[in-house]
Amino acid sequence: MKLLIINKKTIYTILIIIFIIIVASIYISTYSRIDETFNTDIYYKGNVDEKVVTFACNVDWGNEHIPPMLEIFKDYDITITYFVTGKWAEENPELLKTIYDHGHEIGNHGYRHVDYDKLGYEKNKEEIIKAHNIIKNTLGIESTYFAPPSGAYNDDTIKAAKDLNYDIIMWSIDTIDWRQDATKDKIIDRVINKIHNSAIILMHPTEETLLALPEVIKYLFDKDYEITTVGNVVK
């Protein structure tokens, strides 16, 4: 009888040990995934804890607004980052060169403006490479920052970007300037109400953005913020 009790205790001990091993394995596995995700270089903001911000301008349309936007930045001696789709760059090589010649940083916005969270690994990789090569062939540079259209990405997007040595750039302040109800005042309010150190401010080449930009820039300068490229806030 005593032997039976000892066997039961042994069984209970073994079961407890197995349970602890399973729980520990789940914890380690979860922690590793979190750590891996944390280290995938997805930037929602920069990592410079100073009064510095960047404008990330996504381009797939709005050609008519780009030259006057460039003039505004030139007047204030500002350089920002333009994320261009490969298709747009393919169709507008001279305008892309003009943006670059003004000293602005050029990022990759994928070849097509589609939801990359709906694409598998190979398709994600293909879209990023295609845009990369068009930018390289047009400007002779290797872009290193990728902004997925609509901010849509999945694990395959992350893996494809990392395999191609790209950092994924999101945003911490969205002007939502592409919507029909966007106005100059709404854009200004969205920026000044959420401004913070190392902010990545998302915008597009729109008419209302052009109207808002001078006031946004003046406000940021008055508050002693420096406006620079994405590369300078995620370095």
Query: What radius of gyration, in Å, describes the C-alpha atoms of the chain?
Result: 24
pLDDT at residue 8 in the model: 59
pLDDT at residue 190 in the model: 97
Residue 89 near residue 66, CB atoms below 8 Å: no
pLDDT at residue 145 in the model: 98
β-strands 105-108, 81-84 pairing: parallel
Closest Cα to residue 217, out of 234, 230, 203? 203
Closest Cα to residue 140, out of 93, 71, 70? 93
pLDDT at residue 55 in the model: 98
pLDDT at residue 10 in the model: 61
Strands (E), the chain: 42-43, 52-59, 81-84, 105-108, 145-146, 167-169, 173-174, 200-203, 226-228
pLDDT at residue 118 in the model: 97
pLDDT at residue 41 in the model: 76
The 3-state DSSP class for residue 14 equals helix
pLDDT at residue 37 in the model: 39
Prediction pTM value: 0.83
Per-residue pLDDT of the chain (235 residues; tens, 9 = 90+): 444 455 556 666 666 667 666 645 544 444 333 333 344 579 999 999 999 999 999 999 999 999 999 999 999 999 999 999 999 999 999 999 999 999 999 999 999 999 999 999 999 999 999 999 999 999 999 999 999 999 999 999 999 999 999 999 999 999 999 999 999 999 999 999 999 999 999 999 999 999 999 999 999 999 999 999 999 999 8
pLDDT at residue 235 in the model: 82
